[in-house]
Amino acid sequence: MQADPSELRDFAAHYTDAWCSQDAASVAAFFAANGSLRINDGTPAVGRTAIAEVVQSFMAAFPDLRIVMDDLSIQNDRVIYHWTLTGNNTGPGGTGQPVRISGSETWHIDSDGCVASSLGSFDSAEYQSQLRPRSREPR
């Protein structure tokens, strides 16, 4: 889909707001009914229900989750959404550690203006490192 760059920027801004809403279904609503979300080399979540479950897992882990859109670029039929996630891992089973991680999603937008597929990526080793409890320095 060839969309107007300003429309895509608005779309991405609303997508960012949805991530910050703590409402996983509002994020999934940006995807086509049979759209997919794949993070790093994981198994794709297909369909809005499955996508909402993936999104909810992040929202539950980080009750204060904030996403910032760092950039948006358009390359032929792909839209690349660059983001930074911040939050404290205080959800169920969390480590209590603060996390700040940046990544991107490469979107293919369908003719209805929805995300048909998204390939998300971030440095998972850095993410896991930030989740680990810090050892306390002796006094």
Would you kindly state where each structural domain of the chain is located, as residue ranges? 5-131
Q: Is 97 buried (19+), middle (13-18) or exposed (0-12) by CB count in 10 A?
A: middle
Output the pLDDT for position 1.
46
Give me the CATH topology for the region 5-131: Nuclear Transport Factor 2; Chain: A, (3.10.450)
Walk along the chain (139 residues) in steps of 10 and give the mean pLDDT of each run.
Answer: 82 98 97 98 97 97 98 93 98 96 97 96 96 73
Output the pLDDT for position 136.
63
Q: How many angstroms separate the CA atoms of 57 and 44, rounded?
A: 15
Q: How many angstroms separate the CA atoms of 6 and 12, rounded?
A: 10
Output the pLDDT for position 76.
85
Output the pLDDT for position 137.
58
Output the pLDDT for position 139.
58
For tokens 């940046």, name the residue: 102
